[in-house]
Amino acid sequence: MSQYNLIDNPNSSNRPPVINVGIIGWLRHNLFSSWTNTVLTVVAAGIIYSLFPPLFQWAILDADWSGVSRESCTGKGACWVFIKTWFWHLIFGLYPVDERWRVVLAFGILIVASIPLFIPWFKYKALVGVFLLIGFPVLAYFLFVGDILGMPLVETPLWGGLFLTLVIAGCGIVLSLPLGILLALARRSSMPVLRGLSVAFIELWRGVPLITVLFMASVMFPLFLPEGVNFDKLLRALIAVTLFSAAYMAEVVRGGLQAIPRGQYEAAQSVGLSYWRMMTFVILPQALKHVIPGIVNSFIALFKDTTLVAIIGLFDFLGMLQVARSDPDWLGFAPEGYVFGGLVFWIFCFGMSRYSQYLEKEFRTESQ
């Protein structure tokens, strides 16, 4: 504590000691506050120094940025020409070039409509929420599929790339949370049949790897369908991903429900609230708030798990990257592909993580 010098400087005692502010103060406080901390700082600096410059050299300084074919790449650094050439396929898959505006329009609407949710003084958040949850999916469905208002039909096997990843992850996220909540409530219900069904469902889905589920959905499931009945492959994958994720979500939500004291239920019942009102207005808001990190964690896992749909022949973002790197013209550029893919996934997942922290902070200030 000797570095604080509080007693030697009686005049400045109502301000933080100089040594504790500014860059030096910050360094001292955060990086060199103790022996272990100092050692950790030095080791971490060493690791960063030995890894970062070579990566930087490869990815930026020595990289080739312009050109149209692999001949433009010197081979000294990363060949981003590869990514550039394939870029729009990585984004849209095989979605027809002339129809891509429909996808762009839908995501544009989504972004514009979401902005008000981040404006604190905006009053009609609930209305926007309803649009985003109900109106938007319908709108997006018609835009993506087409076959209406003169827009040609684009069948789902043509969907792909980041667009497909976002469709699967988006549907999975939006559907698995409510489903997970219902499952969690059923699991805590006093009705044995309901409880049993919920437990069976959750344990079944949690016990099987997603790959198996997807595989069964695409290969086995059609065997049980009558001849001629066709069930969209994407739809099957969507259902599989959603149910799988809902089982995990259910357990996260159940954890939150368990943290709510019995008195909250009793108080809600005794003022006459029905079961669903009690859950909607008293229990769930508190329970979900407790488990925001867990929920977002599940969302992130779901987002990354969507890459598994490549197994059943859907060309999501990663699937498209694999197509690209096995293109005979571009063999040998897997590192560039995976670095780029990793970066894109990281941006989305990091975004979700930050949003979760923002929500936690928002709720904390609200009730304290």
Partner 1 sequence: MSLENDRYSISPPDLEQRWMIEMYDVHKWFVDFHVLKHINLKVDRGERIVICGPSGSGKSTLIRCINRLEEHQRGRIVVDGTELTNDLKNVDAIRREVGIVFQQFNLFPHLTAVENLMLAPIWVLKMPKAEARDLAMKYLERVRIPEQADKYPGQLSGGQQQRVAIARSLCMSPKIMLFDEPTSALDPEMIKEVLDVMVGLADEGMTMLCVTHEMGFARTVADRMMFMDGGEIIEIAEPKTFFSSPKNERTQLFLSQVLEH
Which residue in 88, 281, 350, 358 binds partner 1 (CB under 8 A)?
281
Is-contact 159 93, C-beta < 8 A?
A: yes
Indicate whether 269 belongs to the interface with partner 1 (CB under 8 A).
yes
Six-digit token pair at 306?
């969507």
- Looking only at Cα atoms, what is the longest distance across the chain? 90
3-state secondary structure labels for all residues of 187-245: HCCCCHHHHHHHHHHHHHHHHCCHHHHHHHHHHHHHHHCCCCCCCCHHHHHHHHHHHHH
Piece in contact with partner 1 (CB under 8 A), picked from 9-17, 79-87, 179-187, 257-265: 257-265
Among 125, 277, 354, 361, indicate the residue that binds partner 1 (CB under 8 A).
Answer: 277
Closer of 125 and 206 to partner 1 (Cβ):
125
Say if CB 268 and CB 325 are below 8 A apart: no
Q: How far is the CB of 277 from partner 1 (least distance, A)?
A: 5
Among 59, 110, 197, 273, binds partner 1 (CB under 8 A): 273
Q: Which two tokens stand for residue 313?
A: 């022949």
Taking CB under 8 A as the rule, does residue 368 contact partner 1? yes
Q: Does 267 engage in binding with partner 1 (CB under 8 A)?
A: yes
Q: How many residues bind partner 1 (CB under 8 A)?
A: 21
Site membership for partner 1, residue 263 (CB under 8 A): yes
Question: Strands, E, within 220-349: which ranges?
Answer: none
Count of C-beta atoms within a 10 Å radius of residue 102 = 20
Please report how close the Cβ of residue 93 comes to partner 1 at its closest, in angstroms: 43
Q: Which of residues 268, 318, 320, 324 is near partner 1 by CB under 8 A?
A: 268
DSSP 8-state secondary structure symbol assigned to residue 291: T
Q: Which is nearer to partner 1, 281 or 346 (CB)?
A: 281
Kindly state the smallest distance separating residue 366's Cβ from partner 1, in Å.
Answer: 7
One residue of 155, 232, 266, 329 binding partner 1 per CB under 8 A: 266
Strands (E), the chain: none
Distances (CA, A) of 15 to 18, 19, 269: 8, 11, 52
Binding site residues, partner 1, CB under 8 A: 261, 263-264, 266-274, 277, 281-282, 285-286, 289, 366-368
